[in-house]
């Protein structure tokens, strides 16, 4: 599934939404993590403090002894000790206001869609974080998105989606008092009836795509893919 998502809110809006300090240098952007080259925008996540931890430029893990990971399927977490430990100790929230995914159209083409809440407000995606040092002693802060089975809307294009929390569940996810079964029970598809989807520019699929929010503005179906919609 796609790893791209967006934060169109500014620093003030983020600060008000999460009641935390956000650097005035923060700018709205779309995030396209590429772990092989670490080409991504400065992004932020809320740890269990909760407070913004600063700019995190690397999404996924990059260790010589392990596979680079951007997505962690919720179903895998209870099956692997490393994920069980992270679930217990290293949960985070990733602020966003849209996620992107593609619907296959033909053998080599995918129609990019952006998924938002119907009220267009910020939401939080579930994540697991890690920090480590490389052989040169440089410290890195990373996180991975937790995914779940797609809801009825996203399933029209893909079988997976990020775990999205309603606002009232954010502090529950970060709470230190929950058991593993209680935490795992939160990793469910978001209500499809509270989400919208629309096509965005195919430029976001280009290898040299930047982090501008311009390419995630809505497009007319006819301008890029005829009169197709998500339901075609």
* Residues 28-49, mean pLDDT to the nearest whole number: 65
pLDDT in the model for residue 106: 62
Residue 207 pLDDT level (bands cut at 50, 70, 90): low
Residues 188 and 196: their CA atoms lie apart, in Å, by: 18
Q: Is 180 helix (H, G, I), strand (E, B) or coil?
A: helix
Cα torsion 141, 211, 127, 137 to 10°: value is: -10
Helices and strands: H and E segment counts in the chain: 5, 12
Domains of the chain: 5-225 (3.90.1680.10)
pLDDT tens string 153-188: 999 988 999 999 988 999 999 999 999 999 999 999
pLDDT in the model for residue 32: 67
Cβ atoms of residues 207 and 120 within 8 Å: no
At a CB cut-off of 8 Å and minimum separation 6, what does 151 contact? 161, 189, 190, 191, 192, 195
pLDDT at 18 over 80: yes
- Give this prediction's pTM: 0.83
Residue 42 pLDDT level (bands cut at 50, 70, 90): low
Range from 11-20, 86-95, 134-143 carrying the lowest mean pLDDT: 134-143
Per the DSSP assignment, residues forming a β-bridge with 165 are 124
Cβ atoms of residues 26 and 8 within 8 Å: no
pLDDT in the model for residue 219: 46
Check residue 145 and give left, alpha or beta (phi > 0: left; psi -120 to 50: alpha): beta
pLDDT tens string 104-128: 766 667 788 889 999 999 999 999 9
Per the DSSP assignment, residues forming a β-bridge with 98 are 6
pLDDT in the model for residue 65: 44
Residues 96 and 78: their CA atoms lie apart, in Å, by: 26
pLDDT in the model for residue 223: 41
Q: In terms of pLDDT, which residue wins out, 202 or 213? A: 202
* Residues 19-36, mean pLDDT to the nearest whole number: 73
| E strand or H helix at 15 | helix 11-18
pLDDT at 221 over 70: no
CA distance between the termini of the chain: 20
Considering only CA atoms, which of 171, 140, 220, 209 is closest in space to residue 18? 171
């Amino acid at each position: 599934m796609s790893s791209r998502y967006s934060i169109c809110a500014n620093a003030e809006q983020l600060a008000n939404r999460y009641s935390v300090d956000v650097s005035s240098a923060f700018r709205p952007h779309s995030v396209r993590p590429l772990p092989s080259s670490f080409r991504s925008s400065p992004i932020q996540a809320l740890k269990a403090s909760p407070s913004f931890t600063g700019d995190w430029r690397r999404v996924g893990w990059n260790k010589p002894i392990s596979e680079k990971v951007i997505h962690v399927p919720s179903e895998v977490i209870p099956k692997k000790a490393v994920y069980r430990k992270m679930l217990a100790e290293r949960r985070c929230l990733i602020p966003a206001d849209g996620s992107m995914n593609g619907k296959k159209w033909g053998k080599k083409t995918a129609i990019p869609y952006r998924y938002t809440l119907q009220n267009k407000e910020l939401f939080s995606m579930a994540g697991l974080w890690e920090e480590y040092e490389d052989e040169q002693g440089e410290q890195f802060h990373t996180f991975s998105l937790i995914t779940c089975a797609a809801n009825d809307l996203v399933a029209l294009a893909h079988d997976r989606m990020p775990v999205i929390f309603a606002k009232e569940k954010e502090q529950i996810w970060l709470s230190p008092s929950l058991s593993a079964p209680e935490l795992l029970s939160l990793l469910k598809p978001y209500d499809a009836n509270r989400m919208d989807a629309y096509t965005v520019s195919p430029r976001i699929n280009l290898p040299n795509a930047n982090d501008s929010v311009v390419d995630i503005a809505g497009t007319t179906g006819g301008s890029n893919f005829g009169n197709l919609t998500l339901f075609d």
